[in-house]
Amino acid sequence: MRVLVTGGAGFIGSHLTDALLARGDEVSVIDDLSAGRMARLDERAVLHKLSVTDAVALNVVISSARPELICHLAAQIDVRASVAAPAVDARTNVVGTVNVLEAARLAGARVLFCSSGGALYGRDAPIPSLEDVLPLPESPYGVAKYCAEQYVGLYNRLHGTAHSSLRLANVYGPRQDPTGESGVITIFCARVLAGERPTIFGDGTQTRDYVYVGDVVAAFLAAADQGRPGTWNVGTGVEVSVLELASMIGDVAGRPADPKFAPMRPGELQRSAIAIERAERDLGWRAVTSLADGVRAAYRWIEEGAPDRAGY
Ligand SMILES: NC(=O)c1ccc[n+]([C@@H]2O[C@H](COP(=O)([O-])OP(=O)(O)OC[C@H]3O[C@@H](n4cnc5c(N)ncnc54)[C@H](O)[C@@H]3O)[C@@H](O)[C@H]2O)c1
């Protein structure tokens, strides 16, 4: 299959690109390299350096690459940056997605849109949250992802396409930037390895649903093989507190993580976990990597110097 991955030089996108190449697909990548790195890419992937906000350039690339499938992962992913500059976030995450949908329409490609499970459901959603819960995002990033999903659904109704949205929980694993703003597991691993104390914002009882990047890639491949449109949560359904995480990382490191505490950041949810039954039923997918194994893999990757081409 000819596949195009936007955001393919990023953390999740580069693993997805490797997996598509490994199954014999022809893969092109669109990435503006704002957060992505060329060095993460296999040499068989053709990189086009451009922004999804540039509709003209996007159309030129997509009409010449003629993908059958577009995995749309390019995004501004920093929730706090979205609060500081919501229009910038919307330009990339909403207008960029509309541009991808339009280019896909002209090329006759199907789109798998990478949405968020953690940023969509809001503080009153039952846990684990089902896909049917009315989203009440707490950030411009969450609103933008929800809005983009609405465009995905609209294109299916308007143009009879079979586009789908995957709502990812908190993804972690090798290649996730340990110096970034998100990605608590790699950030904590890096601190502990450097002999520093990781910072917990709040009292550490807040929970998240952590899903390993290898499992996320498997969900994309399963959704690629599923011809019908859908919206699927991609997580574990399990709530894990930040305190539990810190303790687990301490176990892997062989010494206590000894976290320090700072005030909770505004807009942060106390609890989050997403229901997994729909993806199990429709895609035959479920996460298979235990948190202990995934944390060990992330820790080992940082110990090895965080190489760009690390597998999972
Ligand atoms: N990491 C998580 O926990 C998580 C959770 C839910 C959803 N997601 C979604 O998964 C996708 C990938 O996230 P990631 O964690 O790999 O982050 P990432 O920052 O590593 O990947 C995003 C990629 O998009 C590229 N990009 C950004 N703006 C662009 C633009 N305007 N044009 C072209 N490329 C652009 C970046 O350079 C980067 O390579 C995103 O859509 C994100 O919203 C991630």
Q: Looking at residue 34, which CATH number applies to its domain?
A: 3.40.50.720
Residues 140 and 275 in one domain: no
Binding-site residues, ligand 1, Cβ < 6 A: 6-7, 9-13, 30-36, 51-53, 73-77, 92, 96, 114, 116, 168, 170-171
| Residues 269-308 as b or e (16 or more Cβ within 10 Å = b) | bebbbbbbebbeebbebbbebebeebbbbbbebbeeebee
- Return d(Cα 274, Cα 117) in angstroms, integer: 7
Give, for all 312 residues of the chain, the pLDDT tens digit.
999 999 999 999 999 999 999 999 999 999 999 999 999 999 999 999 999 999 999 999 999 999 999 999 999 999 999 999 999 999 999 999 999 999 999 999 999 999 999 999 989 999 999 999 999 999 999 999 999 999 999 999 999 999 999 999 999 999 999 987 789 999 999 999 999 999 999 999 999 999 999 999 999 999 999 889 999 999 999 999 999 999 999 999 999 999 999 999 877 899 999 999 999 999 999 999 999 999 999 999 999 999 999 999
Q: Between vectors from CA 41 to CA 61 and to CA 163, what angle results, nearest 5°?
A: 50
How high is the pLDDT of residue 179? 87
Residues 123 and 183 in one domain: no
Residue written as tokens 């060329």?
38
How high is the pLDDT of residue 227? 86
| Number of domains the chain is built from | 2
How much distance in Å is there from the Cα of 254 to the middle of ligand 1?
32
Contacts for 57 with CB less than 8 Å, ≥ 6 apart: 50, 51
How much distance in Å is there from the Cα of 114 to the middle of ligand 1?
9
Residues 150 and 214 in one domain: yes
Q: Which of 168, 170, 172 is nearest to 116 (CA)?
A: 168
Residues 110 and 145 in one domain: yes
User: Which residue among 48, 62, 77, 308 has the greatest number of ligand 1 atoms within 8 angstroms of its CB, and so is best to mutate?
Assistant: 77
- Return d(Cα 208, Cα 46) in angstroms, integer: 35
Q: Which is the closest atom of ligand 1 to the Cα of 8?
A: 39
Residues 177 and 44 in one domain: no
How high is the pLDDT of residue 180? 76
Cα 301 off chain centre by: 19
Residues 142 and 34 in one domain: yes
Range of the domain at 122: 2-170+210-234
Specify if 310 maps to a domain: no
Q: Which protein residue has the closest C-alpha to ligand 1 atom 21? A: 10
Residues 17 and 144 in one domain: yes
How high is the pLDDT of residue 197? 95
